[in-house]
Structures are given as structure tokens and as C-alpha cells.
Amino acid sequence: MPEQPRTAAVTAVVAGVPVDTRHWIGGRRVASAGTFTDRSPIDGRALAEVSRGGAAEAGAAVAAAAAAFPGWAATPRAERARLLHAVADGVQQRLEELAQVETADNGALLRSHRRGVMPRVAHNFRFFADRLLTLDHEDFETRGHSNHVSWDPAGPCVLITPWNAPLMLASWKVAPALAAGNTVVLKPAEWSPLTASLLADIAAEAGLPDGVLNVVQGLGDEAGAALVSHPDVRRISFTGSVPTARRIAGAAAANLTPVSLELGGKSPLLVFADADLDLAVDLAVEQYDNAGQVCLAGTRLLVESSIAEEFLRRFAVRAAALTPGDPRDEATDLGPTVHRRQLDRIDGFVRRALDAGARAVVGGGPDEDLGGLHYRPTLLTDVAQDSEIVQEEVFGPVLTLQTFDTEDEAVELANGTRFGLAAVLATGDPERADRVTARLVAGTVWVNCFFVRDLRAPFGGSRHSGIGREGGSWSFDFYCDLKNTVTAPKGGPGHG
């Protein structure tokens, strides 16, 4: 594919920031014959015509990653770490631009991007750069023989990221994959591809060698399918839906390619009568963050019967105080959903639940005053445990409330879905907290708090919420081939 000249046709200006809409392959910009339209969820306007990759672009990107792999894998740890810190510096320097572009692209709050999300992107690169330098396992002996564990780079990695936190979740995968000595092909979601292109620019400016990071844009059934089925790919990491994960796992199985899957959730938020009720209500309302488009959200409120009425009263007051609106406004608490298809999907779940007998005590439909892609924060009661609205991930600002009378009943309800990503527990009894958390099926449990994340901790889900763990050394375990070298003692042959 010939290199294309940089012209207005391949550059979009988003929130005043020029964004190249072509792929980044082998250290150069490459255009496709076709494009797809990327629209802002804020007002529906077209932000960019983005190069629509397919099998040819996927193949070229994997080839570029494979060609760059030997040199990058042989790069000393300290140099790889230095370059990742340089990428973090670039993110920090362009933090406002990244925040503005991502808000325009996916509709999440600008204040969150400025204060939390984009600083976290830089932190992700710094954390894994530093972790690389301390990655070690103590040598040990077996009948006089020494054992030495090492983490060998695996090869080209395909990383497929979602639209709800595009750059942060990309950095959560890209940083450890690169730190481990692998090369990367990043495929961003087609509903929010723009900051991945800016990341390619930042990485190039930081001095990352050509082909070490590649970005291929396009649709999942085209570019994504070609990437995950490529025989030269050594690792696949995906964050997204269960149905897509099944297709990826099937394609990866044909090549025996290891996969890491961070999937959906239907997490419970348990509130016991001994909880600080104001804190519990605050935690529950916090689940509307990012218009409910958060995989970890505790969308199933499980409240002890004796306090349910008072909990509902306080919750309704707090939810009514949320300010919906333009996500670029500092006063806005609740922005739009990401896409018309997503809004319709959310509303479909709610309408079917209402038809089945659920009651909307808060919200219950699109925001008619704001229009567009705004959906009112919603809380549904009178829902059965086996109902669709309780069992399936909505991924919008929709919560359900069920009551329980005993600790056993609370745990049974909490574990009563096919998911196991996270759980939130509100209680004033430390012994109860220990008992309940030990019984919950979840990758992360928060007790009297929510969304406190540390990269030193493992992250991932159980059951249909995923395969594998990321964070800390767990990321390196996935992105590397672990090797144990056994050496005989000096002065004679060894036998196992």
C-alpha cells in the first residue's frame, strides 16, 4: 500500500485538534479505499471520515509488527521503560487535546477526561514501565540445580478496545504489551477511534521504533475479524461483549493463540441495614457514571427489606439532583449515550421490563427535554430474578432494585447471574463484610467504596465476565512466554 500524502481529506479537526484519519502501519500513515463516518454523540454531527481497514490493512499491520518484533524484543528493559515514559510525557503534554477529542468522540464528561481518565492514561504507561524494571522471580534450587524464571516476549499482539473509555483502556493493554517486549496492533472501536490515532502520533514523537505500535481502524467484522484470525499473532486481548468474545475465541482457537477477555458485567450492589445509608445511596447513584456505560457498574441494587423504603426515598432525591446535559459543560453529571443503536438498545430493555410488570420509580425512558442520545437515569423495581432486565447487561443508566431479608438470600441474589465481574458491598459490620465478600463470585469487590483501582491489583472477571487477569505481574504473565531455566551444579552432570 503506497503512503498517502497528508491533505485535508485525511485530516479531521475535532475540538480544534487535527486528527489524522488514516491507519498507522509500520511507522507511516496508510489510507484505505473506503471510509466509515465517525459521529459525535453530543450533537450527531460527523466528526471524521475514517479509513476503513480490512484484511489487507490487517495483514500489513501484523507483518509490520512481526518485522519490528526481533529488534524491540532485544531492546534492553531500561530502554523500553525510557520510551514508555516518553509516551507518558507526550500524553501529559497533550492531555487537554486528548480530553477534548475523546469527549467529542464518545460523549463522556470532559471534566472526567481532564481530571481522571487522561492522567490515568499517562499513569498506565509509567506504571508498566517501572514494573518492567522490577519484574523478577527469586532463583531457587532443586537438588543442587538452580532454577531461573524469565519472561520472554511473545510476539505480535492484537489489542481490541471498546468505546466507553477508549484511550484509557487502550493504554491498559498497550503499555504492558510493549513493556513486555511485544509489538502491537491496536484496533479501536469504530464508534470512538480518534484518540487511538493521536496515540500513534504521540508514540512516534516519543521515539518508538517503526512497527512497534500499529493502529488499524475499521469495523469488527472486517478489520477485527482479519486480525484475530491471523496466524502470526501471538496474543489477543479484547474488552467488550460476550458474543464478540465468543467469535474471537473461536478464531484464536484455530491458531492456538492465547486470549485475554475482559467482558460484561451485571454486578450487584448490596446494602445491609447496618450500612451508612447516605453512603450507600451515594454509591448507588455513582453507578450512573458515564451514562451507565461502565462494565463494572453495580447495576443490581440489593437492599435489605427493612431499609428499602427509606433507601428509595433518599435515592430518588439524589438522582433528581443529577444534572444531565452537554458533557463539555463542567456542571453536567450525565452526558449522552454513545450511539443511536446503543440508546435504542437501552430503551428496548426498559420497555420490555415495564411491559413485564416492572415499575419505574426513577426515569424510565429517553430524556425528552434534551433529546438526542440522552437517556434519563432510571431505577426499576418489581423485577424478578430470572427477568431479562436482571440477567442481561444493559450498559446504560438503568438500575434495578430487589430486596432481601437474610444474608444468605443477599448472596444468592448477588451470585444469581452468569456474570462475575465486580460487586459493591455497603455494611457497617466488618465481620459481615468478610463473610459476604468470601462468598461473592466477582473479580473485584468494593466494601463501602467504589471504583478504587490500583494497577498492582489483578483485574478481570469470573464466569462470563472474562478470562484471565490484568494488572501488576499478571499482565506480564499474559503478554510473555514464561520460561524456567534449570542449570546443573558446576563440576558434574545433572539429572532431574
Distance of CA 308 to the CA centre of its chain: 33
Strands 46-51, 35-39: pairing kind: antiparallel
d(C-alpha 77, C-alpha 128), whole Å: 11
Answer yes or no: 157 catalytic.
Answer: no
Decide if 491 is inside a domain. Answer: no
Is residue 493 included in any domain, yes or no?
Answer: no
Q: Tell whether 272 and 236 lie within a shared domain.
A: no
* Cβ–Cβ under 8 Å, residues 171 and 117: no
Q: Does residue 66 sit in the same domain as residue 193?
A: yes
Long-range Cβ contacts of 111-117 (<8 Å, 24+ apart): 111/330, 111/332, 112/289, 112/290, 117/165, 117/167, 117/168
Q: Do 359 and 406 lie in a common domain?
A: yes
> What backbone phi and psi angles, to 5 degrees, belong to 136?
-165, 160
CA–CA distance, 12 with 14 (Å, rounded to integer): 6
Reply yes or no on whether 295 is catalytic. yes
In a domain, 315, yes or no: yes
Q: Which domain holds residue 479?
A: 8-263+461-483
Is residue 13 in a domain? yes
pLDDT at residue 8 in the model: 38
Report if residue 121 sits inside a domain: yes
How many other C-beta atoms lie within 10 A of the C-beta of residue 309?
10
**Which cell numbers in the block locate residue 129?**
514501565
Same structural domain for residues 244 and 146?
yes
Question: Would the CA dihedral through 269, 322, 305, 283 be positive or negative?
Answer: positive
Cα dihedral across residues 70, 75, 77, 81: positive or negative = negative
Indicate if 83 and 169 belong to the same structural domain: yes
Q: What is the C-alpha R_g of the chain?
A: 24
> Is residue 385 assigned to a domain?
yes
In terms of residues, how long is the chain? 496
Q: Going by C-beta distance under 8 Å and a sequence separation of 6 or more, which residues neighbour residue 312?
A: 361, 381, 401
CATH of the domain at 293: 3.40.309.10
Q: What are the DSSP E strand ranges found in 280-397?
A: 300-304, 359-362, 378-381
Shared domain for 227 and 284, answered yes or no, is no
Sign, CA torsion 351/353/357/361: negative
**Which pLDDT score, from 0 to 100, does residue 109 have?**
98
pTM: 0.94
Secondary structure in 3-state letters for 240-262? CCHHHHHHHHHHHHHHCCCEEEE
pLDDT score, position 339: 96
Question: What does each of the 496 residues of the chain score in pLDDT, given as a tens digit?
Answer: 444 433 435 899 999 999 999 999 999 999 999 999 999 999 999 999 999 999 999 999 999 999 999 999 999 999 999 999 999 999 999 999 999 999 999 999 999 999 999 999 999 999 999 999 999 999 999 999 999 999 999 999 999 999 999 999 999 999 999 999 999 999 999 999 999 999 999 999 999 999 999 999 999 999 999 999 999 999 999 999 999 999 999 999 999 999 999 998 999 999 999 999 999 999 999 999 999 999 999 999 999 999 999 999 999 999 999 999 999 999 999 999 999 999 999 999 999 999 999 999 999 999 999 999 999 999 999 999 999 999 999 999 999 999 999 999 999 999 999 999 999 999 999 999 999 999 999 999 999 999 998 999 999 999 999 999 999 899 999 999 999 999 999 876 555 5
Do 175 and 29 reside in the same domain of the chain?
yes
Same domain? 44 vs 130: yes
Tell whether 1 is covered by a domain: no
In total, how many domains does the chain have? 2
Active-site residue (options: 102, 295, 470, 480):
295
Chain-centre distance of CA 335, in angstroms? 19
Give the H or E element holding residue 484: strand 480-487
Amino acid at 189: A
What pLDDT does residue 3 have?
A: 42
| Phi, psi of 150, rounded to the nearest 5 degrees | -135, 155
Shared domain for 239 and 316, answered yes or no, is: no
Question: Do 233 and 350 lie in a common domain?
Answer: no
If asked whether residues 252 and 369 sit together in one domain, one would say no
Residue 235's CATH number: 3.40.605.10
Give SS3 for 238. Answer: strand
Cell 435489605 maps to which residue? 304
The region, left, alpha or beta by phi > 0 then psi within -120 to 50, assigned to residue 171 is alpha
In this structure, the answer to whether residues 425 and 473 fall within a common structural domain is no
Q: Which of 102, 190, 262, 393 is catalytic?
A: 262
Q: Is residue 140 part of a domain?
A: yes
